[in-house]
Amino acid sequence: MKVLRRALLLTAATCLAGAGAVLPATAGQTAATGETATAADPTPAAPKKLFTIKDNRLEESSGLAKSAKHDGLYWTINDSGDSARVFGVDTTGEVQVVLRFNAQVRDVEAIAVDADGTIYVADIGDNNATRDMIEIYTIPEPETLKDAENVRYHRYDFKYPDGAHDAETLLVQPQTNRLFIVTKTTKKTPAIYAAPRSPSRQGTNELTKYASAPKGQYTDGTFLPDGERIVLRSYTDVSTLSWGTTPALVARGPVPLAQGESVAVGAADNTLLVGSEGANSIVYQVPVPAKAGTGSPPATATPKPTSGAPDSGATPAEKNHSLRWILIGAALFAIVVTALTFPPGRRERLDRMAENARLTGQPPTPTPTRRRHSA
């Protein structure tokens, strides 16, 4: 019994050791040694100046969107006060093309491009929150970069369900081309409003409140190519949010101080271009904000499970966590069985007495039995 009891205790110790071995390393430590590991540098890369927009027709660049059809080309528009026109700017800051369409715009504040090459021009600005209706125009990206007048366009009218709002951010979801508008406010919590999945060109489309956004004065935004994250631009920083029914803040990153008005996906999916209003506005490249040590996840599709092998959906960390508790449970069970089956009582004392007698040659001395006192 003594040997069996020791075996059970050894089993418990082994299980506990195994549980510790499968634990994932904590931040800043390695799992094997506990020594400090070299983590990714949490300090974001310094902004890189890419180009300056010197064209005097673009003195209030108030949006930026990466072209779907022309490498190295970005579409931009002027803030309120300009006519209905869109500029294509290359990565040297030179205007390569101007597209004009015959619409009566009021306060254009954002521009976006979907994967099919449709340009969205968002007339959604409303500083005094007095507009009964806002408009979004669509025009096709040209096949060749040549100035064009009277470009064919479509107009979509929208209204908010809870009154007028000022807004400068238009988001186009990559997989569905659904439109989302993020409000700009200093007093209330910003909100994200969704357009109908298939908006009509007849009548006015009603927006629906999709979710609240983190506090901030957002002047532009974009979906990242994976469709699982968005980036929102304020005057002083950019924020990465995970996308879903409740968008959550992932990380914030600083940007050069200026009248920050634009953000777009960069040449690489983990970079952004940020710009500002004013003459000779500079466009910088900055990294997509991410949690320290994680980096920006690549924009790749989630692999499908192999046929016949159901996907539990558990991550490696979750699986390690489950295995840890299984081992701990086995260890505790072994300890309990040992305690209940082999209590360290009289039997152990007799074993020790017999061992002493064998070594000394003296007969074992019995332990005095306690007597009960009669009442």
Determine the pLDDT at residue 327. Answer: 52
Token pair 């803040």: residue: 249
> Which of the four pLDDT bands, split at 50, 70 and 90, describes residue 187?
confident
371 found inside a domain: no
The neighbouring-strand residues paired with 171 are 180
Q: What angle do CA 50, 55, 57 make, to 5 degrees?
A: 130
243 and 131 together in one domain: yes
68 and 104 together in one domain: yes
82 and 115 together in one domain: yes
> Which of the four pLDDT bands, split at 50, 70 and 90, describes residue 81?
confident
275 and 348 together in one domain: no
Determine the pLDDT at residue 58. Answer: 94
305 found inside a domain: no
337 and 266 together in one domain: no
Residue type, 282: I
36 found inside a domain: no
Count up the domains in the chain and report the number: 2
296 found inside a domain: no
304 found inside a domain: no
Q: Is 372 helix (H, G, I), strand (E, B) or coil?
A: coil
135 and 172 together in one domain: yes
Residue 73: is its pLDDT beyond 50? Answer: yes
Residue 63: is its pLDDT beyond 70? Answer: yes
Determine the pLDDT at residue 175. Answer: 94
> Which of the four pLDDT bands, split at 50, 70 and 90, describes residue 164?
very high
Mean pLDDT lowest for which of 155-159, 282-286, 336-340?
Answer: 336-340
Half-sphere exposure of 249 (CA within 13 A, CB side): 12
Q: Which of 287, 305, 329 is the last residue of a domain?
A: 287
CB atoms within 10 A of CB 361: 6
The neighbouring-strand residues paired with 87 are 76, 98
312 found inside a domain: no
* 316-341 vs 2-22: helix crossing angle, rounded to 10: 160
Determine the pLDDT at residue 22. Answer: 39
Q: Which residue has the higher pLDDT, 301 or 183?
A: 183
Determine the pLDDT at residue 354. Answer: 53
Determine the pLDDT at residue 259. Answer: 81
What domain range is 68 assigned to?
48-287
134 and 252 together in one domain: yes
Cα separation of 274 and 282, whole Å?
8
30 found inside a domain: no
Q: What angle do CA 132, 113, 274 make, to 5 degrees?
A: 90
Average pLDDT of the residues of the chain: 78
Determine the pLDDT at residue 357. Answer: 54
352 and 250 together in one domain: no
Residue 16: is its pLDDT beyond 50? Answer: no
17 and 130 together in one domain: no
Cα separation of 105 and 243, whole Å?
31
**Digit-coded pLDDT (tens) for 219-264:** 999 999 999 999 999 998 999 999 999 999 999 999 987 788 999 9
339 and 276 together in one domain: no
DSSP 81-109: TS-SEEEEEETTS-EEEEEE-----S---
Q: What is the CATH number of the domain that holds 209?
A: 2.120.10.30
**Digit-coded pLDDT (tens) for 314-370:** 434 444 445 555 555 555 555 544 444 444 444 445 555 555 555 455 555 554 444
- The whole-model pTM stands at 0.68
Q: Which residue has the higher pLDDT, 236 or 150?
A: 150
Mean pLDDT for 259-280 is 92
Q: Which residue has the higher pLDDT, 176 or 341?
A: 176
303 found inside a domain: no
107 and 204 together in one domain: yes
